[in-house]
Amino acid sequence: MAAGGRRDAPEAPDFGLLKRLARDQLIYLLEQLPGKKDLFIEADLMSPLDRIANVSILKQHEVDKLYKVETRPAPSSSDQFCFLVRPRIRTMRYIADIVNADKMSGRSRKYKIIFSPQKFYACEMVLEEEGVFGDVTCDEWSFYLLPLDEDIISMELPEFFRDYFLEGDHRWINSIARALQLLNSLYGPFGRVYGIGRCAKMSYELWQDLEGESEGDGQGRKPEIGNVFLMDRDTDYVTALCSQVVYEGLVDDTFRIKCGSVDFGPDVTSSDKSIKVLLNAQDKVFSQIRNEHFSSVFGFLSQKSRNLQAQYDRRRGMDIKQMKNFVSQELKGLKQEHRLLSLHIGACESIMKKKTKQDFQEMIKAEHSLLEGFDIRESTSFIEEHIDRQVSPIESLRLMCLLSITENGLIPKDYRSLKTQYLQSYGPEHLLTFHNLKRMGLLTEQVAGETLTAVESRVSKLVTDRAAGETQAGSVLCPKHCTPVQIPRLDGEYDLKLPRDMAYVFSGAYVPLSCKIIEQVLERRGWQGLEEVVRLLNGHEFSVSDSTAEDSADAQRVVLAVFLGGCTFSEIAALRFLGKERGCRFIFLTTAITNSARVMEAMTEARA
Amino acid sequence: MSRVRADEEEYWHSSKFRAFTFDDEDDELSQLKESKQAVNSLRDIVDDDDDDLERVSWSGEPVGSISWSIKETASSSTSSLEGRDSSLQKGSSSYAAFPKQVSSYSLSSLFKGRNKLPSFQSLSDALSDTGVKNYAPELRRPKAEYKDYSNDWSPKDTVRRMQRGKVCSLERFRSLQDKLVLLDEAVAGHDGNVITAVLIFLKRTLRREILFRELEVRQVALCHLIHFLKETGEQKLLLDLLRFLDRTEEVALSQYREHLNIQDVEKRKEFLKGCVGLPFSAEDTSHIQDHYTLLERQIIIETNDRHLEKSGQSEIFRKYPRKASILNMPLVTTLFYSCFYHYTEAEGTFSSPTNLKKTFKIPDKQYVLTALAARAKLRAWDDVDALFTTKNWLGYTKKKAPIGFHRVVEILQRNNAPVQVLQEYVRLVEDVETRLSLATKYKCHDVVIETYKDLKDRIQLTAYKCKVERGSAEEEKINSILNNMQIRWKN
């Protein structure tokens, strides 16, 4: 790739400031309710809160007992209740019930609701309807941005995906705009903004509107982030639905990384307890393997453990003084490394065990065939058997969606038969799930009478079109399809240990479309020449440059990639790779970290 | 449509390209094992003061974290946090990245007089290169304190003020036209929270038919109202709206969804019965009908079996007590259950597998897979055998399966079938390579030996000798084949 002009990527800005801001505002809000108080925290907010504060900080501000919202509180003697919640109707009713129960029993207390990241009018309406408006005071904790790592900021709003893409509700756009405003004021001004997707466009417009009145902010400051790229998740569902094979993605798919940390169970720790581990750049072992294709991880780990052994072995020939030095200076570091190594080795083993058990190989093969548009019949019957064996409802759904997107809908006969078998295997109430997926365009039926060539559209074309090499869209976005994975490349195998492009995150089979678009637009500094692609992606593209913003050379090479509706670790790895190749630094802002299972679960109608 | 390519078959067998797979990673797996041994061998040196280390570097959920603390409150809700002080202090080192909190200062004072920042380290650090600046507009006074009842905001300004979280009275928008201008401005402003707020006002001040009519041509606002009604649970109004819009399928689905909230099975069954008549597509109507029939059957089966189990008269229930009730389970699970407990029953009974198969038109493939899994779990190998045995018109028996025999092998293996049973099905796997790899994996020596013999592959057969036991019948068999002069080896 661009190895010739390689420069070192600039450092990521310091996002620790965001944590401090959030924590300080929370403290301020707690102090607004002086005196001892019980704090009720929404389950979804607990992990994010843990990342910026701890119990002793809360305690210093006179928080007495802590409760989880949704559990009935034990009779409490506290005179003040504080609720730290997401703005949800159901939570409002929970609070109203508590207040009303107190009123009935003649108990008087002070109540304060702190909404994070913002309050919704509908919530106030519920409080009013329940007759507790005025009994409670409301505040907002503008905790929009949680830095999960040096280069990842999450809004921790997984519900954005369903709210916006399924229900068509724009309620979070304000939060996104405010998040952009905050980042712009701290690390901007952003010189260039690119985007694609309806939500991206709206968020941009609302942000600009908000910017309009905070005049003079950030003038003359040296920007740290020069470019912003906003992208809607529905621009590229395929990437989000693929099985992940880079280490961090696999860990997420297998163990679920939550708010930057993961619970490694007994099978990983080879003891009887689980360990919660923070996974980020501070972890010296993890940071070196997170972006690697899984097949290169073993080699690295064994190299690392040999080195470690050698380091320990040195102590054999030591005299007392050297030994003393060794113990006081090196031992601690070595121990930590040892600990990290054994955890990641354990994790690898556990992943291997799971992946070999559930015929992962066959699944990957089916998945790659789908991406290539080959063997459709064979893949369809693979999916069918997967369903019949009741393997995993989420996996089955995911494969059906991939089939539908890449084939531009299922042929009616297949759609009916797969749907029927799915309902028989996993429960009839999934009728509702199918309806959701249809509305999202994730799982559809080909319209009778139209042939594939007549409909040829969107992603299916971008992802699988065999003749793509000849079209403009193909040549730009899908170089893979000129040399499809099935046909050995001229120079033989794709060396996953020495990747040459972003396709390595999917074993060389497919370049994530989302990342490819970002690459192309950044390279061209706009959408010129991508008109065909834009048309296939339903438009809503934009590119704005602010001539007044100073162009610092470093900031020019820092790109804030904003994923509206979630971003996967595979995409993060791919863009990190691109950044290294091009000497630029990607910062990720996402409504939440996602993966195929989360996307599917968001569409699933749960049994009550 | 058909994109099958001639070279693709060839590819999977011959290409140099190999997609990464998890199965054949012998090399790497052994590497992994090695690393593990190396690391484990160090454990003695390292394990002495584990805990100390944990506090330093494993701050995932240290003692003193909030999640931890809430779990504690849940288990002993009376104890306050006071007693934990000491443990908290220990835990705090994991947050060393943040400046230590000085407990005496008050943040309120900070925000009242913005320019006085005496002892506030973290913020002044942050601001050092930018000067004291309005760097975070959110950190002003809570928005609730802004009250503004001025009456002359234009619709646009009203929307903009609401977007900024300020309280605005909407009461003065009384004419229909004013209301609609306000709604359109809200939609144009892209803030769903404000759109919903305006809709709440419109819903309160307009007759529903008029509201519905106007929303029909305003799709974005319409989505917001529908979502709002779903969330607040105003089902009746939601259904009226959907009917007004002629979205009959959504009406049906929305009503059907309610069954999820009905816990009592009898009531749920009755409710589902009512759902059958809802305006679903023909295809979905039959799914709903099946749902109802299934629950009806399950109730019957459950009543009978609970009785049977209790009375202790049935051996199968004594031997394998039921782990859960069959109510509300998917059809395939029900079929498995009936293959497990009621396999031999006549077709006339509701609980017999054949009856289920007929009633719900379960495809052969699905049926065989499920029956196989159930019978294999009971180690009823004869039943398994019967499942695949067919007689042709000459009376010869033959093994046939609607699913691949490699799948049969997999299921049998998972249920710890003995080699003799396994072998029989491994032999039937058509693809030679799959057969060989399965046979090798599950040590079905006879199959391996015969396959190599059929392939006339002397080298492989010779090599296989070291995998069988010395002096065993298998070794003898290999030797006799190797000594057989009749075979024309290919190598």
Q: pLDDT per residue over A241-269, tens digit each?
A: 999 989 999 999 999 999 999 988 888 88
**Could you give the residue ranges of the DSSP H alpha helices within A427-584?**
431-440, 452-455, 458-464, 472-477, 513-524, 531-536, 553-556, 569-582
**A418-432, A512-526, B17-31: which has the highest mean pLDDT?**
A418-432
* Residues spanned by the domain of A402: 358-407+409-440
Q: Greater confidence, A104 or A453?
A: A104
Asked if the model's pLDDT at residue B56 lies above 50, the reply is no
CB distance A603 to A166 below 8 Å:
yes
* CA-based nearest distance B479→chain A, Å: 35
Q: How many CB atoms lie within 10 A of CB A448?
A: 7
CA distances from A511 to A518, A519, A598, B33 (A): 12, 11, 21, 32
Do the Cβ atoms of A486 and B31 come within 8 Å?
Answer: no
Across residues A213-236, what is the average pLDDT? Answer: 79
Could you tell me if residue A198 is inside a domain? Answer: yes
Q: Which CATH number fits the domain that encloses residue A125?
A: 3.40.50.2060
Q: Are residues A537 and A516 in the same domain?
A: yes
Domain boundary among the residues A440, A463, A487 is at: A440
Q: Are residues A363 and A350 in the same domain?
A: no
Q: Are residues A136 and A155 in the same domain?
A: no
Length of chain A: 608
In degrees and rounded to multiples of 5, residue B279 shows phi and psi of: -75, 60
Could you tell me if residue A307 is inside a domain? Answer: yes
* Percentage helix, strand, coil for chain B under 3-state DSSP, each rounded to 5: 65, 0, 35
Band of residue B68 on the pLDDT scale cut at 50, 70, 90:
low
Tokens for A564?
């509206």
Interchain CB contact of A358 with B (< 8 Å): no
Residues 563-602 of A with CB under 8 A from B: none
Q: Which DSSP helix (H) or strand (E) runs through A386?
A: helix A376-388
Residues 103-162 of A with CB under 8 A from B: 118-122, 125-126, 137-140, 142
pLDDT of residue A163: 95
Q: Are residues A282 and A369 in the same domain?
A: no
Tokens for B426?
């491994």
Tokens for B207?
């007759």
Does residue A189 have a cis peptide bond before it, meaning omega lies within 30 degrees of 0?
yes
* CA-based nearest distance A181→chain B, Å: 9
Tally C-beta pairs within 8 A across A and B.
383
Across residues B202-221, what is the average pLDDT? Answer: 93
Tokens for B243?
């009917």
Give the lowest-confidence range in A26-40, A381-395, A512-526, B16-30: B16-30
pLDDT of residue A473: 39
DSSP letters along A20-60, please? HHHHHHHHHHHHTS-S-EEEEE-HHHHHHHHHH--HHHHHH
Q: Greater confidence, A354 or A113?
A: A113
Do the Cβ atoms of B126 and A342 come within 8 Å?
Answer: no
Length of chain B: 491
Give the lowest-confidence range in A227-231, A473-477, A569-573: A473-477
DSSP state of A241: H
Q: Greater confidence, A552 or B257?
A: B257
Tokens for A364?
């990957």
Q: Are residues A264 and A343 in the same domain?
A: yes
* CA-based nearest distance B426→chain A, Å: 17
Which residue is closest to A338 within chain B, CA to CA? B39
For the stretch A129-186, pLDDT in tens is 999 998 999 999 999 999 999 999 999 999 999 999 999 999 999 999 999 999 998 8
Q: Are residues A379 and A403 in the same domain?
A: yes
pLDDT of residue A606: 65
Which residue is closest to A367 within chain B, CA to CA? B19
For the stretch A320-339, pLDDT in tens is 877 787 777 777 778 888 88
Out of A60, A451, A605, the one facing B101 most closely (by C-beta) is: A60
pLDDT of residue A600: 95
Interchain CB contact of A171 with B (< 8 Å): yes
pLDDT of residue B74: 56
Domain boundary among the residues A109, A143, A177 is at: A143
Query: Where does A152-242 show beta strands of DSSP type E?
Result: 152-154, 192-196, 227-232
pLDDT of residue A523: 86
For the stretch A337-376, pLDDT in tens is 888 888 888 888 888 888 776 577 788 888 888 888 778 8
Could you tell me if residue A581 is inside a domain? Answer: yes
**Could you give the residue ranges of the DSSP H alpha helices within B47-84?**
50-57, 66-75
Q: Are residues A263 and A341 in the same domain?
A: yes
Give the lowest-confidence range in A387-396, B87-96, B432-441: B87-96
pLDDT of residue B71: 62
Asked if the model's pLDDT at residue B82 lies above 50, the reply is no
Residues 511-550 of A with CB under 8 A from B: none
Interchain CB contact of A309 with B (< 8 Å): yes
Residues of chain B neighbouring A294 (CB-CB closer than 8 A): 20
Nearest partner of B271 among B285, B288, B283, judged by Cα: B288
Band of residue B319 on the pLDDT scale cut at 50, 70, 90:
confident
Nearest partner of A540 among A233, A201, A193, judged by Cα: A201
Out of B31, B194, B294, the one facing A428 most closely (by C-beta) is: B294
Give the lowest-confidence range in A297-301, A385-389, A439-443, B90-94: B90-94
Q: Are residues A200 and A138 in the same domain?
A: no
Do the Cβ atoms of A306 and B284 come within 8 Å?
Answer: no
Asked if the model's pLDDT at residue A76 lies above 90, the reply is no
Across residues A284-289, what is the average pLDDT? Answer: 87
Q: How many CB atoms lie within 10 A of CB A425?
A: 23
Could you tell me if residue A73 is inside a domain? Answer: yes
Q: Which DSSP helix (H) or strand (E) runs through A110?
A: strand A110-115
Residues of chain A neighbouring B74 (CB-CB closer than 8 A): 67-68, 71
Do the Cβ atoms of A298 and B32 come within 8 Å?
Answer: yes
For the stretch B96-141, pLDDT in tens is 333 333 333 333 333 333 333 333 333 334 334 443 344 444 444 4
**Could you give the residue ranges of the DSSP H alpha helices within B312-431?**
315-319, 331-341, 353-359, 364-377, 381-388, 405-414, 419-426
CB distance A78 to A70 below 8 Å:
no
Could you tell me if residue A9 is inside a domain? Answer: no
Asked if the model's pLDDT at residue A466 lies above 50, the reply is no
Out of A118, A312, A339, the one facing B53 most closely (by C-beta) is: A339
pLDDT of residue A456: 43
Do the Cβ atoms of B191 and A435 come within 8 Å?
Answer: no
Asked if the model's pLDDT at residue B310 lies above 50, the reply is yes
pLDDT of residue B475: 82
Tally of structural domains, chain A: 5
For the stretch B267-290, pLDDT in tens is 999 999 999 999 999 999 999 999
Q: What is the mean pLDDT of chain A?
A: 83
For the stretch B144-179, pLDDT in tens is 444 445 557 888 888 888 888 887 888 888 889 999
pLDDT of residue B447: 87
| Rounded-to-integer distance, Cα B490 and Cα B456, Å | 6
Q: How far apart are the first and last CA of chain B?
A: 44
Do the Cβ atoms of A424 and B163 come within 8 Å?
Answer: no
Do the Cβ atoms of A56 and B88 come within 8 Å?
Answer: yes
- Amino acid A608 reads A
pLDDT of residue A547: 64
| Rounded-to-integer distance, Cα B204 and Cα A176, Å | 29
Asked if the model's pLDDT at residue B17 lies above 60, the reply is no
Residues of chain B neighbouring A169 (CB-CB closer than 8 A): 192, 196, 223-224, 227
Which residue is closest to B34 within chain A, CA to CA? A302
Q: Greater confidence, B448 or B296?
A: B296
Asked if the model's pLDDT at residue A81 lies above 70, the reply is yes
Would strands A261-264 and A275-278 be described as parallel, antiparallel, or unpaired? Answer: antiparallel
Asked if the model's pLDDT at residue B213 lies above 80, the reply is yes
pLDDT of residue B42: 63
CB distance A388 to A421 below 8 Å:
yes
Q: Which CATH number fits the domain that encloses residue A378?
A: 1.25.40.850
pLDDT of residue A427: 92
What is the percentage of chain A residues whose pLDDT exceeds 70? 88
For the stretch B406-444, pLDDT in tens is 888 888 888 888 888 888 888 888 888 888 888 888 888
Do the Cβ atoms of A140 and B223 come within 8 Å?
Answer: no
Nearest partner of B230 among B253, B198, B202, judged by Cα: B253
CA distances from B313 to A368, B324, B345, B352 (A): 53, 19, 16, 19
pLDDT of residue B311: 85
Q: Are residues A76 and A108 in the same domain?
A: yes
| Rounded-to-integer distance, Cα A442 and Cα A398, Å | 9
Could you tell me if residue A262 is inside a domain? Answer: yes
Q: Are residues A369 and A425 in the same domain?
A: yes
Q: Which of B2, B9, B10, B20 to mutate to test the interface with A (most CBs of A within 10 A)?
A: B20
Which residue is closest to B17 within chain A, CA to CA? A493
Q: Which of B14, B42, B89 to mutate to test the interface with A (most CBs of A within 10 A)?
A: B42
Domain boundary among the residues A109, A125, A143 is at: A143
Residues of chain B neighbouring A205 (CB-CB closer than 8 A): 190
Q: What is the mean pLDDT of chain B?
A: 76
Which residue is closest to B365 within chain A, CA to CA? A388
Do the Cβ atoms of A356 and B23 come within 8 Å?
Answer: yes
pLDDT of residue B60: 43
Could you tell me if residue A267 is inside a domain? Answer: yes
Q: Which CATH number fits the domain that encloses residue A193?
A: 3.40.50.1910
Out of B97, B232, B253, the one facing A432 most closely (by C-beta) is: B253
Supply the pTM of this predicted model: 0.81
**A193-197, A496-500, B343-347, B457-461: which has the highest mean pLDDT?**
A193-197
| Rounded-to-integer distance, Cα A189 and Cα A173, Å | 20
CB distance A9 to A580 below 8 Å:
yes
Q: Are residues A478 and A377 in the same domain?
A: no
Q: Which CATH number fits the domain that encloses residue A301?
A: 3.90.830.10
| Rounded-to-integer distance, Cα B169 and Cα A225, Å | 40
Q: Greater confidence, A546 or A452?
A: A546
Which residue is closest to A509 within chain B, CA to CA? B19
Across residues A407-425, what is the average pLDDT? Answer: 92
Q: Are residues A380 and A429 in the same domain?
A: yes
Tokens 């509107």: give the residue: A209
For the stretch B22-39, pLDDT in tens is 554 555 566 667 777 766
Could you tell me if residue A24 is inside a domain? Answer: no
Which residue is closest to B166 within chain A, CA to CA? A121
